[in-house]
Structure 1
Amino acid sequence: MLATPSSRRLLVIDPHKECHNIMPELQSLGWEMEFASLATANDHSCDVGLIRLEPLHLIRPEAVKEMIRLSGIEWIAVVSPDDLAISNVGNFVCEWFYDFHTLPFDVQRLAVTLGRTSGMVHLRTQSAPPVNIPDHQLLGESHAMQDLRTLLGKYASAESPVLIEGETGTGKKRVALTLHHQSRRHDQPFVAINCAVVPQHLLETQLFGHDAGPFSGLARKIGLIEAANGGTLFLDEIDELTPELQSSLWRFLLEKQIWRVGSNHPIPIDVRVLAATSADLEAEINNGRFRADLYYRLNVLQVKVAPLRDRHGDLEILANHFSRFYSLEVGRRPRTFSKDALMAMGIHDWPGNVRELANRVRQGLAQAQGRQIEAADLGLACTQQSTESIGTLADYKDRAERQALCDVLHRYSRNLSMAAKVLGVSRPTFYRLLHKHQIR
Structure 2
Amino acid sequence: MLKDKTIVVGVCGGIAAYKAAELIRLLVARGARVRVMMTRNAAEFITPLTLQTLSLNPVATETFSLTQESEIGHIRVADSADAIVIAPATANVIAKAAYGLADDLVTTVLLAAQCPLAFAPAMNVHMYAHPAVIENLDKLRTRGATIIEPGAGALACGYEGKGRLVDPAVIVDEVERMLAPHDLAGERILITAGPTQEPIDPVRFVSNRSTGKMGFAIARAAWRRGAAVRLVAGPSAIATPHGVERIDTVAAADLLSATSRNFPWCSSLIMAAAVADFRPKNPAPHKLKKNSAGMVLDLAPITDELPRLAAKKAGRILIGFAAETQDLEVNALDKLRRKKLDLIVGNDVSRADAGFAVDTNIVTMLSADGRVETTPKLLKDEVADVILDRLVAIRTARSKSRPTPLRSTHEA
Fold agreement, TM-score > 0.5: no
**TM-score, length-normalised on structure 2?**
0.22
**Which structure features the higher share of strand residues?**
2
TM-score, normalized by length of structure 1? 0.21
More helix by share: 1
- Max Rg structure: 1
